[in-house]
Amino acid sequence: MTNDYNVNTIICAKIAELRRASGLTQDALAEKLGVTYQAVSKWENAISCPDIALIPAISDIFGVSIDALFGRTEEKEVSSETLPWGNDNKLRAVLFRGTTLVSKQEYKNEKINITFEVKGNVKEVICSEFPVSCHNVEGNISAGSVTCDVVEGDVNAGSITCDSIEGDIVMKGGGNVTCNGEVCGDLIAEQCNISVSGDVGGDVISNGEKCAVSIEGDVSGDIISDGKNCAVSIEGDVSGDIIYK
């Protein structure tokens, strides 16, 4: 009996709450349901309850579920889908359409130019073939092209424009290197043009055809050239050997 009383009290209070929220009068609600306004008044004062056959119509009028009329919390279905990779702790940008994971998107095979531009310093950069523009790089950098001030580690890129590099430079498959300062490590070039305004602390190795190397400072290591039409110009001193293969 107690449970029935509680349920009746809840639905009566809910009808009064929803009627006021919807701006309906007791007369208007009674007319929609085909009952008298006295019946609606008795419901709202918990004197009586609506007939069970009227419950679906009441829920439709107020735009709520039958569970909501009885004060039950509606549990919304949570959309979940296992992501198509293991938990490898990598940072990814994932695309959703609404609540659905987009696992495959049709696209045309077109090249898109993407450039990473950072106004401050970066610790380390590894970003495949994309161009990178930043201030200082405190570690290594591997990218399609690099434009920065100082690199404290190694550089492996298609083209490089910077002030100084404290590690090695590795250039393969064409491109240009313009270093306005010094290179503390080795300089390895394959089929590309290199210009260094300062000193090179390691070896200078040039391979491939049509490779031009110009160094205005000193070279602490060896000069090794292996390729056709490969020109090497050193304005400073060379501490190591000069080897042409």
pLDDT tens figures, 75-86: 555 455 556 666
Of residues 240 and 122, more confidently modeled: 240
The candidate with the shortest Cα–Cα distance to 172, out of 145, 191, 154, is 191
What is the reported pLDDT for 162? 76
| pTM: predicted TM-score of the whole model, two decimal places | 0.45
Taking residues 82-100, what's their average pLDDT?
65
For residue 216, the number of C-alpha atoms closer than 13 Å in the C-beta half-sphere is 9
Q: What is the mean pLDDT of the chain?
A: 75
Q: For the chain, which domains are there?
A: 2-69 (1.10.260.40), 116-244 (no CATH)
pLDDT tens figures, 187-226: 777 777 778 888 888 888 777 666 778 888 898 888 877 7
**Intra-chain end-to-end CA distance of the chain, in Å:** 103
DSSP-derived letter for residue 128 is T
The candidate with the shortest Cα–Cα distance to 43, out of 32, 56, 58, 65, is 58
pLDDT tens figures, 2-31: 455 577 788 888 888 888 888 888 899 999
Residue 93's identity, in one-letter code, is: A
- Pairing state of beta strands 136-137 and 125-126? unpaired
Of residues 145 and 46, more confidently modeled: 46
What is the reported pLDDT for 187? 77
